[in-house]
Structure 1
Amino acid sequence: MNKEIINCLLCERELQQIITWQTLFERRLAPVICERCKLKFELVNYQKEGLYAIFHYNEAMKNFLRQYKFLQDIILAKVFRQELHELLSKRSEIIVPIPMHPLKKKERTFAHIDELLHAAEIPYEHLLEKTTVETQVGKSKLERQQVAPLFRIAHQKQLTAKHYIIVDDIVTTGTTIAHAKRALLDAGAESVTAIVLIKG
């Protein structure tokens, strides 16, 4: 994962390293996709009730998720590392990734949210664990709202801070985020917000 990227991870064109004042004076991670591919992803900057999303779920993002999550192309965790780094690196809250159920992680071979955070050089804590392997895909909004709690505080974990940020890849109805927030608030957190890569 630490090997220098010289070709776009999405289209394999050679990357053009452009030196600007930002790259000289700011903490910027080296780009891993070309400008042409970058323009295919639509910024949405969605913000509502403690939830912030960076990108819209368009065709380019759909293809990215398929390649990254389901075809297990783990190096693609680096594609949005700069955006995540900018949003999270200076936050004082504890970062909590949405966890995978151990059986799902074994099937997929890696925890995709963890890898996104690793690539963005963001420290995090595993405070939650998934209670079921059941997914929310294909359920109606009502069905999602009526499910039993999806998360609990992980075994032998205690909340040592007051403020937390949940990180996930995509939000659609918001059920997953709501369940994760509830688990942390019930365990004593004073505030819980969420940052997701994609607004579905």
Structure 2
Amino acid sequence: MKRNERFLMKQSGLQLKIHSLYEYDETAQSFMTQFKYQEDWLLAGCFRKEVRQLLQLHKSKAVIVPIPQAERSKHFFNQTEALLNETKMSYEPILMTNSAKRQARKTRINRLTATDEFECIRTCSRTQALLFDDVCTTGATLYRARRCLLKQGIEVIGACVLFRVKK
């Protein structure tokens, strides 16, 4: 278990299984820069098959980790929604964050100690959910999203991400 996850698990008292397709290396970083920040939404289809297979393993409806509302109004699309739309699998956009900025703009310490929270903006149709996000660096965002869903009585069976930092 990674140091960040041990810290987050100690804080929350619960472990979250995080499954990733690929390591977040220089190639992945270049891909995400073009996809996410240069808004090359056609790249969402690059991992269609792999994301679909990963999500099908868990047989639960995915809940996407949202981008901050301020960021959403500036950008053409939400990258996690775009990735899932390509799979043709259903998901539920039930979370909203009050964070003022994207996680990518925060330091490791800021991510781990952030107090920004998620809120449920609608009810989930299931009692179990699988979190889905594009990149996992510390896991803090996933743990906070999980905490919000648990407060709503939704069991989070794990999280799936496209890329994950290996440390």
Tell me if both proteins adopt one fold, taking TM over 0.5 as the criterion: yes
In the alignment, structure 1 segments of 5+ residues that lack a partner are 1-47
Question: Which residue is 1:170 aligned to?
Answer: 135
Show the counterpart of 2:47.
80
TM-score, normalised via structure 2 length: 0.82
Give me the whole-angstrom Cα distance separating, in 2, the residues matched to 1:138 and 1:90. 32
Structure 2 contact 92–124 (Cα < 8 Å) conserved: no
Are residues 1:153 and 2:120 paired?
yes
Q: Distance in 1 between matches of 2:89 and 2:43?
A: 16
Distance 1:66 1:141, change over 3 A: closer
Among 62, 79, 88, the alignment partner of 1:112 is 79
d(CA) in 1 for partners of 2:40 and 2:104?
21
Percent identity over the alignment is: 26
C-alpha contact (below 8 Å) 2:45/2:86 kept by paired residues: yes
CA distance in 1, matches of 2:16, 2:131: 13
Contact 1:159 1:188 in 2 (8 A): no
- TM (norm. structure 1) is 0.69
Aligned equivalent of 1:100: 67
CA drift at 1:50: 1.3
- Aligned-partner Cα distance in 2 for 1:140–1:100: 17
Pairing of 1:139-150 with structure 2 (within 5 A) = 139-150=106-117
Q: Give the CA deviation at 1:141.
A: 3.7
Aligned partner of 1:199: which letter?
Answer: R
Hey, what does 1:181 align to over in structure 2?
Answer: 146
Q: 1:86 and 1:153, CA in 2 relative to 1: closer, same or farther beyond 3 A?
A: same
Aligned partners of 1:171 and 1:199 also within 8 Å: yes
Aligned residue pairs: how many? 151
What CA distance in whole angstroms lies between the structure 1 residues aligned with 2:27 and 2:73?
Answer: 27
Give the Cα–Cα distance (whole angstroms) in 1 for the partners of residues 58 and 147 of structure 2: 21
**Match status 1:198 vs 2:163:** yes
**Which structure shows the bigger proportion of residues in helix conformation?**
2
Higher Rg: 1
Q: Tell me how large the CA RMSD over aligned residues is.
A: 1.8
- Secondary structure of the corresponding residue to residue 137 of structure 1: helix
Q: Supply the AA of the counterpart residue of 1:75.
A: L
CA drift of 1:92 comes to 2.9
Taking a change above 3 Å as real, the CA distance of residues 59 and 117 of structure 1, as seen in their structure-2 partners, is same
Q: Kindly indicate whether the alpha-carbon contact (under 8 Å) linking 2:71 and 2:102 is maintained by their aligned counterparts in 1.
A: no
Determine which structure has greater relative contact order: mean sequence separation of CA pairs < 8 Å that are 6+ residues apart, divided by chain length.
2
